């Protein structure tokens, strides 16, 4: 890996083994983007810069009629100086002037990647810091770029520093800008809703701005903070793709803008909707980190790069390589209706199956017998569990199982002791009735006293009970963005909330290193890299229907590794879709992630128990593939009757394929599967077909999958190098 600066041409080359990112300091001191793509030589790239007199443009003073910022590729565009495209940074000085020109001052290659104050970020790599000074408003912006040797990735972020004596107002603080020559790209995004998260959408770009964003103070299930640019001919296996992902859990925006000269600009970061930040003299403000991945091997290669990057440099190393707990979660088994005996019966009922962790979900605390009350009262409900959690925990441990507990630390019910004692701790505007969501309000995590209380009250439960696992839920997004103590700075609220949330996560995750944390937000409604930094896996969706899961998990895998997705086998008819799918299909699909169960196991027949035992054994055989393997998506049920995913070990000696046919049609065409990622020259044995073939034959001739009758039937294949 290299960060190289050519003093003569003032060009920076950020290189991985496969990619180059280049920009230069131009004759006026602006940082001029030159290239992001496949690795190239360190040639002088000035020849590739083009400006011309285009008429009806405005120019930098004293530069003739060609130097309009509107036609420069800029690493950090601002506003007010002839660039009419979206800016990366917008500042307002004490005169209320928003004119700003950020020019190169200095740079250094850092010996270690600095952490971001109060925000999660990736580890490792080599980092370049370029300091830009503003000509007019006494600010400095430090641009950080991180590059990794083995991965075609650039991380970017900015730090804004007020060097003047008077306060500055930040109107926009985005994390990155990438200017490209042409608009011959399509945008691929992941949209969704509760129980239908991360569906793939691909759309041509047009003149104007294509925006994805969240205004919910949560990265949200509506649009993941991810966008990829795909060449129109790019598909799963070939073509150029550039992926962008924000390491941020709050309100964000990513925009792709095509201007009148067909230039494409992509920018993204904290959403400036309802955002402003007062930066006092001497203070600095950090944007979240943005990840940019280049792929010359289609969407599939982009995904594998994201997966490797996040497994190696983002997810807590404490967990990332470890087998994941195989959970039985009581939520869909009992909802709020459980007692000590029921929970112990669940433990007894899974004995010998290989399920190794009981997670006690919502309803163990306060007066929480339904979802209208009790949030915030993190005290055991002794009416429901007269001897507390201890007998259940002891019963689990005695039976060789671990014990997990559900929390929703960010929330407060109006009907709770906490609210009665501290109504001002809930986010609302005095005199305006707040909009309830799931009959609950959000705690004001912009306040240190509230943050400290949450840490303390959750810690008390963790200190006094032998807990191995925490499921961290979050079930509503923000309205009435307001905190009395912020006064005139109320537009800082969303970002301050997220900083408060990270403080709590930091304290609890690091304070209890023996505890395994799972993230959740009404299923997968806050599935982002920042949450993954704290929680090595996230409940992918409340929708556990096997067929829907093929779409949800497929979409999620565009960015996030399989090991990050919690996937449970649940009951049928499914509680969300009312669909019935075969038990084997539910398990096969749940095995493409951190697997577990979520149904009333006390109703298991012996036959069912045997099947579950076999399923867990089968999962154990492929667990290392889920944790470390390369993913190849072979079929997408969002736009076809078939779903197929393949995982290949890094050394190409073992592979697993899961295929689902959604609907059975009589007398239908055959389905031929073409595995990928194998060693062409090696010989492999396909266990289920008892076929021994070369990698080249398997990948080019493929094999026919026979499903028999029935809907939502899955088939799995284990391919081993002989």
Active-site hit among 444, 542, 545, 588: 542
Piece in contact with ligand DGJ (CB under 6 A), picked from 28-36, 206-214, 424-432, 517-525: 517-525
Considering only residues 30, 244, 425, 539, which one is a binding residue for ligand DGJ as defined by CB under 6 A?
A: 539
647-678 in b/e form (b: 16+ CB < 10 A) is bbbeebebbbbbbbbbeeeeeeeebebbbbbb
Catalytic residue among 83, 179, 377, 473: 473
How many chain residues interact with ligand DGJ (CB under 6 A)? 11
Segment lying near ligand DGJ (by CB under 6 A), choices 71-79, 167-175, 520-528, 701-709: 520-528
Binder to ligand DGJ among 473, 528, 545, 623 (CB under 6 A)? 473
For the segment 325-344, give every residue that binds ligand DGJ (CB under 6 A).
Answer: 331
- The residue number whose beta carbon is nearest to ligand DGJ equals 362
Does residue 475 touch ligand DGJ according to CB under 6 A?
yes
* Smallest separation, CB 588 to ligand DGJ (Å): 21
- Would you call 441 helix, strand, or coil by DSSP? strand
Q: Is the dihedral of CA 63, 65, 66, 69 positive or negative?
A: positive
Measured from the CB atom, the residue of 156 and 476 that comes closer to ligand DGJ is: 476
Please name which of 477, 556, 555 lies closest in space to residue 271, comparing C-alpha atoms.
477
- Minimum Å gap between C-beta 371 and ligand DGJ is 6
Question: How many CB atoms are located within 10 Å of the residue 387 CB?
Answer: 11
CB of 405 to ligand DGJ, least distance (A): 11
**What is the C-alpha separation between 144 and 153, in angstroms, rounded?**
13
- Cα distance between residue 223 and residue 284, in whole Å: 29
Phi, psi of 194 (to 5 degrees): -55, 135
Q: Which of 356, 362, 492, 518 binds ligand DGJ (CB under 6 A)?
A: 362
Q: Is 542 tagged catalytic?
A: yes
| Cis amide linkage into residue 573, ω under 30° from 0 | yes
Nearer CB in complex with ligand DGJ: 81/575: 575
Residues 308/650, Cβ–Cβ less than 8 Å: no
Could you give the C-alpha distances from 441 to 381, 410, 491, in angstroms and in order?
21, 9, 19
The count of residues in the chain is: 722
Shortest distance, position 332 Cβ to ligand DGJ, whole Å? 8
Query: What is the Cα–Cα distance from 38 to 152, expressed in whole angstroms?
Result: 8
List the x/- string, 388-407, binding to ligand DGJ by CB under 6 A.
------------------x-
Least Å from the CB of residue 79 to ligand DGJ: 41
Side-chain-side CA neighbours of residue 365 (13 Å):
23
Provide Rg for the chain, Cα atoms.
Answer: 27
Let me know if 339 is a catalytic residue: no
Q: Which stretch binds ligand DGJ (CB under 6 A): 178-186, 519-527, 642-650, 696-704?
A: 519-527
Of the two residues 185 and 407, which places its CB atom closer to ligand DGJ in the complex?
Answer: 407
Q: Give the shortest CB-329-to-ligand DGJ separation in angstroms.
A: 7
Burial 493-516 (b: 16+ CB within 10 A, else e): bbbbbbbbbbbbbbbbbeebeebb
Q: Which of residues 101-130 bind ligand DGJ (CB under 6 A)?
A: none
Q: Is 361 in the site for ligand DGJ (CB under 6 A)?
A: yes
Minimum separation from the CB atom of position 363 to ligand DGJ (A): 8
d(CA 710, CA 187): 36
Report residue 72 CA to chain centroid gap: 32
Among residues 442, 447, 449, 405, which one has the least CA distance to residue 427?
Answer: 442
Q: Is 522 in the site for ligand DGJ (CB under 6 A)?
A: yes
**Which window, 386-394, 481-489, 516-524, 684-692, contacts ligand DGJ (CB under 6 A)?**
516-524
| Residue 542 lies near ligand DGJ (rule: CB under 6 A) | yes
First to last CA, the chain: 35
Q: How far, in Å, CA of 504 to CA of 658, rounded?
A: 39
Q: Are strands 102-110 and 252-258 parallel, antiparallel or unpaired?
A: unpaired
Q: How far is the CB of 585 from ligand DGJ (least distance, A)?
A: 21
Q: Which stretch binds ligand DGJ (CB under 6 A): 177-185, 268-276, 518-526, 704-712?
A: 518-526
Q: Which one of residues 315, 520, 538, 552 is an interface residue with ligand DGJ (CB under 6 A)?
A: 520
Question: In the bound complex, what is the minimum distance in angstroms from residue 65's beta carbon to ligand DGJ?
Answer: 59
User: Which of 298, 409, 523, 561 is in the footprint of ligand DGJ by CB under 6 A?
Assistant: 523
Provide the binding-site residues for ligand DGJ, judged by CB under 6 A: 331, 361-362, 406, 473, 475, 520, 522-523, 539, 542
Residues serving a catalytic function are: 473, 542
């Amino acid at each position: 890996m290299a960060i190289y600066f050519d003093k003569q041409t003032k060009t920076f080359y950020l290189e991985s083994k496969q990619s180059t990112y280049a920009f230069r300091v131009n004759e006026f001191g602006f940082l001029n983007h030159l290239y992001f793509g496949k690795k190239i030589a360190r040639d002088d790239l000035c020849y590739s810069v083009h400006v011309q007199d285009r008429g009806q443009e405005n120019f930098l003073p004293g530069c003739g009629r060609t130097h309009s910022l509107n036609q420069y590729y800029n690493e950090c565009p601002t506003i007010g100086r002839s660039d009419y495209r979206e800016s990366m940074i917008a500042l307002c000085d004490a005169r209320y002037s928003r004119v700003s020109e950020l020019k190169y001052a200095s740079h250094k290659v850092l010996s270690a990647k600095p952490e971001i104050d109060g925000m999660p970020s990736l580890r490792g790599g080599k980092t370049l810091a370029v300091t830009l000074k503003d000509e007019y408003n006494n600010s400095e912006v430090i641009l950080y770029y991180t590059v990794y040797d083995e991965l075609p990735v650039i991380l970017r972020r900015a730090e804004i520093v007020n060097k003047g004596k008077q306060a500055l107002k930040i109107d926009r603080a985005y994390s990155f800008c990438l200017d490209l020559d042409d608009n011959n790209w399509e945008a691929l995004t992941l949209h969704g809703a509760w129980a239908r998260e991360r569906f793939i959408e691909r759309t041509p770009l047009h003149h104007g701005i294509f925006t994805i964003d969240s205004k919910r103070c949560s990265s949200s299930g509506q649009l993941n903070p991810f966008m990829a640019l795909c060449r129109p001919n790019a598909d799963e296996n070939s073509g150029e793709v550039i992926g962008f992902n924000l390491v941020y859990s709050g309100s964000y925006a990513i925009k792709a803008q095509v201007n009148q000269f067909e230039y494409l600009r992509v920018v993204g970061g904290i959403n400036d909707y309802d955002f402003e930040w007062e930066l006092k003299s001497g203070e600095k403000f950090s944007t979240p980190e943005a990840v940019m991945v280049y792929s010359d091997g289609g969407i599939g290669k982009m995904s594998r790069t994201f997966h490797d990057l996040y497994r190696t440099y983002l997810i807590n190393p404490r967990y990332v390589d470890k087998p994941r707990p195989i959970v039985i979660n009581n939520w869909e088994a009992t909802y709020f209706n459980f007692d000590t005996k029921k929970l112990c019966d669940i433990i007894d009922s899974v004995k010998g199956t290989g399920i190794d962790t009981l997670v006690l979900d919502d309803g163990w605390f306060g007066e929480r017998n339904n979802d209208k009350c009790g949030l915030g009262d993190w005290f055991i409900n002794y009416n429901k569990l007269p001897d507390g959690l201890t007998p259940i925990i002891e019963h689990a441990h005695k039976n060789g199982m671990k014990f997990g507990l559900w929390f929703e630390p960010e929330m407060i019910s109006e009907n709770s002791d906490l609210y009665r004692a501290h109504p001002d701790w809930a986010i609302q505007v005095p005199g305006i009735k707040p909009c309830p969501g799931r009959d609950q309000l959000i705690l004001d995590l912009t306040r240190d006293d509230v943050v400290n209380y949450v840490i303390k009250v959750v810690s008390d439960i963790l200190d006094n009970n032998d807990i191995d696992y925490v499921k961290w839920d979050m079930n509503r997004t923000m309205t009435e963005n307001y905190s009395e103590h912020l006064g005139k700075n109320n537009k800082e609220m969303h970002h301050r909330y997220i900083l408060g949330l990270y403080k709590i996560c930091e304290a609890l995750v690091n304070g209890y290193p023996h505890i395994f944390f799972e993230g959740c937000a009404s299923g997968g409604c806050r599935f982002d890299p920042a949450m993954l930094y704290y929680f090595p896996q996230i409940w992918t969706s409340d929708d556990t229907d096997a067929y829907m899961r093929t779409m949800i998990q497929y979409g999620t895998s565009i960015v996030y590794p399989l090991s990050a997705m919690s996937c449970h086998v649940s009951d049928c008819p499914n509680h969300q879709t009312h669909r019935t799918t075969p038990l084997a299909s539910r398990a096969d699909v749940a095995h493409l992630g951190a697997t577990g169960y979520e149904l009333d196991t006390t109703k298991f027949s012996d036959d069912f128990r045997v099947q579950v035992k076999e399923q867990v054994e089968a999962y154990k055989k492929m667990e290392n593939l889920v944790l470390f393997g390369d993913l190849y998506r072979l079929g997408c049920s969002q736009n076809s009757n078939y779903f197929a995913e393949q995982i290949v070990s890094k050394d190409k000696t073992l592979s697993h394929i899961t295929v689902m046919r959604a609907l059975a049609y009589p007398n239908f065409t055959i389905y031929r599967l073409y595995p990928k990622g194998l060693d062409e020259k090696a010989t492999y044995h396909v266990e289920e077909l008892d076929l021994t073939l070369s990698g080249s034959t398997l990948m080019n001739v493929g094999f026919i999958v026979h499903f028999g009758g029935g809907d939502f039937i899955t088939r799995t294949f284990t391919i081993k190098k002989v």
